[in-house]
Amino acid sequence: MKETMPADPKLLLAVPVIPKGKTLAGEARQRFLEVIKPAYRGGHSIQAIADRSTRSFGSIRELLANAPDVKLRKRGGSKARHRGADSHTRASGGPERSGRR
């Protein structure tokens, strides 16, 4: 199993806080991308970068996904566990019924 190094907090602190409602376009967008790439490559999550910068998760993900030199990591976090087919039935194995048909 591959061990991961803890993310360097300095990389996240370098991500600027973008005021709500401010549009990033052109050169400013490119400069922002150049700052968030090292944070992402250094182990920080898209959500952590989004929280720090006040941008949405989707906007950060889109920037990183469209960058030719960034490979997005697989989704992490807890996996949803599937419940068995019996999860909505009584302990006796069948659906609960009244005595009538």
Question: Is residue 87 assigned to a domain?
Answer: no
Question: Is residue 46 assigned to a domain?
Answer: yes
For 14-56, the pLDDT digits (tens) are 999 999 889 999 999 999 999 999 999 999 999 999 999 999 9
Question: Is residue 19 assigned to a domain?
Answer: no
Question: Is residue 13 assigned to a domain?
Answer: no
The answer to whether the beta carbons of residues 17 and 52 sit under 8 Å apart is: yes
* Boundaries of domain holding 45: 24-71
Question: Is residue 39 assigned to a domain?
Answer: yes
- Give the global pTM: 0.70
Question: Is residue 37 assigned to a domain?
Answer: yes
- The structural domain count of the chain equals 1
Question: Is residue 30 assigned to a domain?
Answer: yes
